[in-house]
Chain A
Amino acid sequence: NAGVMQNPRHLVRRRGQEARLRCSPMKGHSHVYWYRQLPEEGLKFMVYLQKENIIDESGMPKERFSAEFPKEGPSILRIQQVVRGDSAAYFCASSRDRGNSPLHFGNGTRLTVT
């Protein structure tokens, strides 16, 4: 079984541009989570989505960040008008249900804002 697939692995954007990060969950998984890891810091939860619904966005910055998980296709984390402080590794995870099934993580997208 393919694991959680994230692309691109590396993304370079200039200040003010938009960044779009994609995440394809494991087969059979309908729950997606996004995390951010700043350089030399821990993993911070951003948002939890189930197909077509945002369940918990308590970790999302109030402006410029949005996420979606459409009925068809991958989950997208979108960052508008990127700033240098957005440079980080963004990890996506998926799970089968909201019970005790573990989350499985992808290998992340490393965003660099120049």
Chain B
Amino acid sequence: DAKTTQPPSMDCAEGRAANLPCNHSTISGNEYVYWYRQIHSQGPQYIIHGLKNNETNEMASLIITEDRKSSTLILPHATLRDTAVYYCIVRPSPGNTPLVFGKGTRLSVIA
């Protein structure tokens, strides 16, 4: 079972920042937070991951609270192509545990 909680759906205006929340209140010290997205009928796309520090790459920023019980994925300037289901996943490292996908958040970017 997924160890994260995400809202089922969100809307965002094109050009605005999309802030996708995720609760992971039972996260352990060695578990990383990963974000993926799945655009209709394609394979899941890796976005970003982090342990406790905020992370940024060319796609997004990941903000993790100090107690690590929640995080927010930020898409700084959402476009129509960012419409997808976004998954927040926690996974221990090192380890042999696979990624466990929950239901995610369906983000709709609106023109």
Give chain A's interface residues, CB within 8 Å of chain B: 4, 33, 35, 42-45, 48, 55-56, 59, 89, 91, 93, 97-100, 102-108
Q: How far is the CA of A93 from the CA of B104 in the complex (A)?
A: 19
Interface residue stretch chosen among B63-71, B76-84, B91-99: B91-99
**For this complex, into which size category does the number of interface residues on chain B fall?**
20 to 34
A-B contact pairs, 23 of them (CB 8 A): A33-B98, A33-B99, A35-B101, A42-B101, A43-B38, A43-B101, A45-B98, A59-B98, A89-B41, A93-B43, A98-B94, A98-B96, A100-B49, A100-B51, A100-B91, A100-B93, A105-B43, A105-B45, A105-B46, A107-B42, A107-B43, A108-B42, A108-B43
Q: When the two chains form their complex, are residues B93 and A99 in contact, meaning their CB atoms are under 8 A apart?
A: yes
Q: Which residue of A lies closest to B30 (CB)?
A: A100
Contact residues in A for B43 (Cβ distance below 8 Å): 4, 91, 93, 105-108
Q: How far is the CB of A43 from chain B (nearest CB, A)?
A: 4
Q: Is B100 an interface residue (CB 8 A)?
A: yes
Q: When the two chains form their complex, are residues B98 and A56 in contact, meaning their CB atoms are under 8 A apart?
A: yes
Q: When the two chains form their complex, are residues A103 and B103 in contact, meaning their CB atoms are under 8 A apart?
A: no
Q: How far is the CA of A102 from the CA of B93 in the complex (A)?
A: 11
Q: How far is the CB of A67 from chain B (nearest CB, A)?
A: 13
Q: Which residue of B lies closest to A59 (CB)?
A: B98
Q: How far is the CA of A97 from the CA of B95 in the complex (A)?
A: 10
Contact residues in A for B104 (Cβ distance below 8 Å): 42
Q: How far is the CB of B13 from chain A (nearest CB, A)?
A: 27
Q: Which residue of A lies closest to B91 (CB)?
A: A100
